[in-house]
Amino acid sequence: MNSVNMSQKVPAVTHEDAGQRLDNFLLKRYGSIPKSHLYKMIRKGEVRVNSKRIAVHHRLTEGDKLRLPPKLLHQPEQIGAKPHYPRNLVQYLNDNILYEDQDIIIVNKPNGLAVHGGSSVSYGLIEVLKDAWPQWPGLELVHRLDKDTSGCIMLAKRRQSLVRLHTLLKNNQIKKYYYAIVQGKWQGGKTVNAPLSRQQVGVFKERFMRVEANGDPATTHISVLKSFEQATFVEAQPVTGRTHQIRVHTAFMGSPIIGDSKYGHKATNQDWKKQGFGRLYLHAHKLIIPLNEEPIVVSAPLPKDFSDFLEYFSKD
């Protein structure tokens, strides 16, 4: 009887779920379990799709059959639970819609807001917007930004739009441009070609990306916009879309992004924080999307804490 009850609790992969990563699909439903525990279950083969072991980043297809361990099924499902978030956050997001049409919405995401909830945060951008904008039940993230990165984030209103945009991303047809303030004088040239490999370190298998000869190809174009005594203001265009690509490439070339707690200089970051400059100085400032006959070009203005830091250097 228990096995029947457990099988009834296994979530179905619907048309709207298709294309989602396995980890995101499960975290939406069982966000009360630590992410590290969920990843361990997947790596050990306790979670299976169509009776096969799969990777954490495996993308689901409509009708996929999931097999989940009892310890996961006993977790309370969170689908339909209302996220708890500051009410002024919705007003901020409404005021910072950069572009909208029948297919997509592009929002200027603030620094410090995760794109989705998980074990360490109770809500993210997508949970807030789905709650605040019920008129778009199919709203989904097209891509990601790190929690501490601000700027352009793209969401699809419909499943068909999401599939089209994912295809454009896969073929590197959507152009992304970022502003960054990196440590010291930039000496890395105009293009960084350095393959990246995913690493997991520590007890909780924290994810890191590293430059390794046998890694996935990764290319970033860098343009110096302004050079200061202690830092350089650059525009970065990732040609490929690897995780943490700009952060790893700038650090690899000896000029990590100021405020980067994972790949940067800890002591330097602490010094800047004491002076009131504590964020990650990475901002997704422009997207060019060839979705229609005329490409959609969207820009996000620099947030005040970013422009204040530039002004600080300009006074030197």
**Average of pLDDT values for 283-312?**
95
* Structure-token pair, residue 160: 């068909």
If DSSP codes are grouped into helix, strand and coil, which group holds residue 91?
A: helix
* Structure-token pair, residue 114: 């995760």
80-106 pLDDT, tens digit per residue, is: 556 678 879 999 999 999 999 999 999
151-195 pLDDT, tens digit per residue, is: 999 999 988 899 999 999 999 999 999 999 999 999 999 999 999
Cα of 270 vs its chain's centroid, Å:
24
CATH number for 2-73 (one of 3.60.70.12, 3.10.290.10, 3.30.200.20, 3.40.630.40): it is: 3.10.290.10
What was the pLDDT predicted at 81? Answer: 56
pLDDT band at 296 (very low <50, low <70, confident <90, very high): very high
What was the pLDDT predicted at 38? Answer: 85
How many angstroms separate the CA atoms of 248 and 205, rounded?
18
Catalytic residue set: 146
What was the pLDDT predicted at 22? Answer: 87
How many angstroms separate the CA atoms of 316 and 311, rounded?
9
Q: Within a 10 A sphere around the Cβ of 145, how many other Cβ atoms?
A: 23
If DSSP codes are grouped into helix, strand and coil, which group holds residue 287?
A: strand
How many angstroms separate the CA atoms of 72 and 79, rounded?
14
What was the pLDDT predicted at 74? Answer: 73
Share of the chain above pLDDT 90, in %: 58
Residues of the chain with CATH 3.10.290.10: 2-73
Q: Are strands 150-156 and 104-109 parallel, antiparallel or unpaired?
A: antiparallel
Write down the CATH number for the domain with range 172-314: 3.30.2350.10
Cβ(252)–Cβ(186) below 8 Å: no
What was the pLDDT predicted at 82? Answer: 62
Burial of 152 from C-beta contacts in 10 A (0-12 / 13-18 / 19+) = buried
Residues of the chain with CATH 3.30.2350.10: 87-167, 172-314
* Structure-token pair, residue 128: 């807030």
> Domain 87-167 belongs to what topology?
Pseudouridine synthase (3.30.2350)
What was the pLDDT predicted at 205? Answer: 56
224 against 78, higher pLDDT: 224
- pTM for this prediction: 0.78
What was the pLDDT predicted at 239? Answer: 95
